[in-house]
Structure formats: C-alpha cells, structure tokens
Amino acid sequence: MSETTPARETAFDMLISMRLMTFRYGGQDHAGVVTPDGVVPVLEINTKHDLHTPNSLLEIIKLDIRELPTKGVAPIPLTDVEPRLPYAVPPKIWCIGLNYKSHAEDIAAVQPEEPGSFMKPASCMFQPGGNILLPPTDVSDDVDAEGELGLIIGRSCRFVPVEKAREVIYGFTTTLDLTALDVLRKNPRYLTRAKSIDTFFSFGPVIVTADEVGDIDDLEVITEHNDGICSRDFVRNMKHRPLNLVAFHSNFFTLHPGDVISTGCPKGARIKHGDTVQARIEGIGTIKATVTQGDRVPFGFTQ
C-alpha cells in the first residue's frame, strides 16, 4: 500500500512528524497517521488526547497541522484498510510536462525553457489501488501512465521566492498522471483534453509532511509496469526542480492549501487492458493501479 518510515524506539511516545492518509474502514472514510505498525485514526487520537483535529486531510492541511500524538492509540493494520484519495477535490491540480529529458525523447518532443504546466480537473481522478479505465479505442488507443513526485501546498501564497518555497510546501506524495498520446499528437493545443479523460490522475495514498523529507533532489522517481521498471530518475535531474516550480507558478496566481503540483515523469509506460502500473518513491510511498479497457456506455440523458 505504501512505504513506511523505519521503526523508531519512541514512535508512540512523542509527537511525530507525520505520514498521513485517508482510508476506508468499517464502510466509512477516515483520516489517519501512518506508523510502522499501521494507521492511527485521527478520531481515536482526538478521543485519547482531548483534541479536535478534523477528520479530513484537506482540513488538516488548511490548519497546517504537522504533528499529532499517537501514544496510547492502537493502530489498525494497513492490510485491514482500503486506501483512498487523500481528498477528492483538490483546489487545483497542476502538472508539469517534459520535465525530464528522457520523457521528451520518448515522445519526440522538445523540452520547454519554462515549465510546461497544465491543469487537470478533479473529475479525472481515480482511487489509489483502483482501476484506470481506458477510453474507447475510437477516443484514444495510445495511453501512457507516468509516475511522478507530487507537491502539496500548505498555505495561501503569492510571489514566493525560491529560497522560501519550501516553507509553503505542506508535504510530498506520489502521483500517477496519464496521457492520451494519440490525441496529443493531433495538436499540442489538445494537451488538456489528452490529460483530462476520466481516471487519468491519482495521488497518494500517503502524504508525507515536508519535515520528514531531507534533500528533495535525492528522491528517485520510479514508474513500474507489469512488475518491471519502466523508468527511474532522480529529482535533481529535472529541468525545473520542485522549489522552482512553486516559485514560478506563484508568480501567476495564488497557491492555496491542498493544491497539488505533479512535477513530471522520466518516461511513461504504454498501458493496455490487463496491465498493472505503479509510481514508487523511496521514503514517500507507492501508488498502484490496474488497467481495464472501458466501453462506450452512455448515461445521463434519455436514450
């Protein structure tokens, strides 16, 4: 489900920097703190320690809560819960295209001098560990899946200097970003359309608070396809690295808590029905998906 931090001798005896997730248990969704022994529900932490922490990751981010006491609260084994999207409707989803040279080479494109950024709607998201539903082949028959490092913005900000950018990042996560490459080849102006098909994005399930992560440049972003490695590269080799991306985009618009910036993939995996794909970043986590061919099933109108 996700990678966890090494066991600590005092993991339940102190306030710990957090690894957070939304999970389904007993038919309901909950926010929780991921520990080496499982996930500790926020509601149980509230009861034990007389707190009023929201049972919502987005609200926790808005309140900039980065530590919660887990002492005395029994964790639920990760094998007993269903991972969910950290939150279903991020304020904004920004993605960065062609940020690694290898990705540009893979699709015969030229890396832009400025970040090649584009937005994705929340309607294109799927649950971590769930299904990527490929569109009917007459809509697209050439789709790739790209594992990426995601940045979670922690406060409203504008015109952020690069040297201050880390202050406004709440945490890091893994993302899966998909592209209908044949749609994109028709015209590069169709990028948003090629990126916004249903089930073409997911993030999580774990968000790691920024203080848990050392040098961002040392993170290695890996895309795995059918149990093999499709691509891997270090953040240091991005053309536009994470702190620069935050500063750059804050020049154009206000960033808000819960905004997601997906920073780009070394190379995407061409996917077909029956495949599996996952993004993996050591120290951050793993997000998985299976691939299913979708049909044209009309709904929402009188036939």
- What pLDDT does 112 receive? 78
Q: How far apart are CA 225 and CA 190, in angstroms?
A: 26
Residues 198-219 have pLDDT tens digits of 999 999 999 999 999 999 999 9
Mean pLDDT of 173-185: 96
Instruction: Please say whether the beta carbons of 181 and 200 come within 8 A.
Output: no
pLDDT at 86 over 90: yes
Instruction: Please say whether the beta carbons of 95 and 39 come within 8 A.
Output: no
Share of the chain above pLDDT 90, in %: 84
3-class SS shares of the chain: helix, strand, coil, % to 5: 20, 35, 45
Instruction: Please say whether the beta carbons of 132 and 277 come within 8 A.
Output: yes
| 93-293 CATH choice from 3.40.50.300, 3.40.50.970, 3.90.850.10, 3.40.50.2020 | 3.90.850.10
- What pLDDT does 211 receive? 92
User: Among the listed ranges 12-21, 58-67, 106-115, 237-246, which one has the minimum average pLDDT value?
Assistant: 12-21
- What pLDDT does 6 receive? 39
Residues 213-243 have pLDDT tens digits of 999 999 999 999 998 999 999 999 999 999 9
Q: CA-CA-CA-CA torsion for 264, 269, 273, 278, nearest 10 degrees?
A: -60
Q: Which residue shows structure tokens 């309140």?
A: 63
Mean pLDDT of 98-121: 83
Beta carbons within 10 angstroms of residue 140's beta carbon: 20
Instruction: Please say whether the beta carbons of 153 and 255 come within 8 A.
Output: yes
pLDDT at 195 over 70: yes
- What pLDDT does 3 receive? 39
The closest of 119, 109, 38 to 74, measured between CA atoms, is 38
The closest of 185, 180, 220 to 197, measured between CA atoms, is 180
Residues 248-271 have pLDDT tens digits of 999 999 999 999 999 999 999 999
Instruction: Please say whether the beta carbons of 119 and 94 come within 8 A.
Output: yes
Single-letter amino acid, residue 11: A
Mean pLDDT, the chain, rounded, equals 92
Residues 1-58 have pLDDT tens digits of 333 333 333 333 334 459 999 999 999 999 999 999 999 999 999 999 999 999 999 9
Q: Encoding tokens for residue 31?
A: 């926010």
- What pLDDT does 20 receive? 97
Q: How far apart are CA 115 and CA 117, in angstroms?
A: 6
Q: How far apart are CA 231 and CA 190, in angstroms?
A: 25
More confident residue, 109 or 286: 286
Q: Encoding tokens for residue 155?
A: 């406060």
Q: Would you kindly state where each structural domain of the chain is located, as residue ranges? A: 15-84, 93-293
Mean pLDDT of 179-184: 96
How many C-alpha atoms does 124 have within 13 Å on its Cβ side?
A: 22
Beta carbons within 10 angstroms of residue 299's beta carbon: 5
DSSP state of 10: T
- What pLDDT does 17 receive? 57
